[in-house]
Amino acid sequence: MEKPAPWLGNAKNTSEILKKYDFRVRKKFGQNFLVDSFVLDKIVAAADIGPEDAVLEIGPGIGTLTQYLASAAKEVICVEIDRSLERIQAETLAGWDNITVIWEDVLKLDLRALIEEHCPGGRIKVTANLPYYITTPILMNLLEQELPIQSITVMIQKEVAERIAAEPGNKNYGALTLAVQYYADAYLAANVPPNCFLPRPEVSSAVIRMDIKKDRIPVKDPEKMKKIIRAAFSQRRKTLVNCLRSAEELQITEEEAEAAVEKLGLPASVRGETLSLPQFAALSDILP
């Protein structure tokens, strides 16, 4: 399809459209619009969007990333909380026949029903420049519901992206890394500075891609493993044994913790931050 006017993704057209509609950016909704076409192309490329793909975009805003996604994909379903953007989108997304916008809070929506309606039998690709104030709830909601999703490619705070993609032993490695990595393989695709947005966010950003795993790590009780992981990172300076025995939600004695760590072939002084996901799964299966 020919690019409709105004084509967004640059500071000039974005400020003009905001001015034209006298739109005051709402900080409480994390509204930082992308104004760099290179970054927008990069997101579409990192998400590997092609003409057969259905895309779920969270937070289309004034429709910037939506235009780029709709140029590449078969269909784009958007979920946006701020209905006051509707009059802007009526102009910026006019003429596109492959875009549907649902005006809802993404955390309250039945995403399974939405995906099944628009992408029956298939697996949708989630792509977004996320509102940073709810990055983790949105990601965990997408992952834990085990929705028919192929991948999630999102712009988030750089610091959160580094935590998600961290390796064991790295200072950023923690409960969030493992919570995401249980469901997906994560890769950092790009670093993005604040000047690529209008208004500029206070933090640096990064694009991260998460490919949903077809086969998860085998573990008898995934909920128990999650509790163990939470406990292991609750006090980073303590040893794993100390963290486990002092976690109220686990009810594990020091002897049981020591025996399990020894059975894994690890020293008694080991800290949680050095264990990989398969090691946490093994620990979970050994502990009572």
Structure tokens at 85: 């953007």
In the chain the beta strands, taken as DSSP E runs, fall at 33-34, 54-58, 75-80, 99-103, 124-129, 149-157, 184-192, 197-198, 205-212
Listed residue (164, 167, 157) closest to 180, CA to CA: 164
The only residue of 6, 53, 55, 61 in contact with ligand SAM, by rule CB under 6 A: 61
- Shortest Å distance, C-beta 150 to ligand SAM: 20
The only residue of 67, 124, 131, 275 in contact with ligand SAM, by rule CB under 6 A: 131
Q: Does 105 bind ligand SAM (CB under 6 A)?
A: yes
Q: Does 79 bind ligand SAM (CB under 6 A)?
A: yes
Site for ligand SAM in 172-191 (CB under 6 A): none
The only residue of 44, 101, 106, 287 in contact with ligand SAM, by rule CB under 6 A: 106
Residue nearest ligand SAM by beta-carbon distance: 59
| Residue 26, number of CB atoms within 10 A of its CB | 13
Contact call for residues 88 and 17 (beta carbons, < 8 A): yes
Q: Could you give the maximum distance between any two Cα atoms of the chain, in Å?
A: 69
Q: Does 135 bind ligand SAM (CB under 6 A)?
A: no
User: To 10 degrees, what angle do helices 175-183 and 135-144 make?
Assistant: 40
- Shortest Å distance, C-beta 81 to ligand SAM: 4
SS (H, E, C) 13-69: HHHHHHHHCCCCCCHHHCCCEECEHHHHHHHHHHCCCCCCCEEEEECCCCCHHHHHH
- Shortest Å distance, C-beta 131 to ligand SAM: 3
Residue type at 146?
E
Q: Does 60 bind ligand SAM (CB under 6 A)?
A: yes
- Shortest Å distance, C-beta 145 to ligand SAM: 15
- Shortest Å distance, C-beta 199 to ligand SAM: 10
Q: How far apart are CA 66 and CA 59, in angstroms?
A: 9
Residue window 20-59: x/- pattern of binding to ligand SAM, with contact defined by CB under 6 A: ---------xxxxxx-----------------------xx
Chain residues in the site for ligand SAM (CB under 6 A): 29-34, 58-61, 64-65, 79-82, 105-107, 129, 131, 134
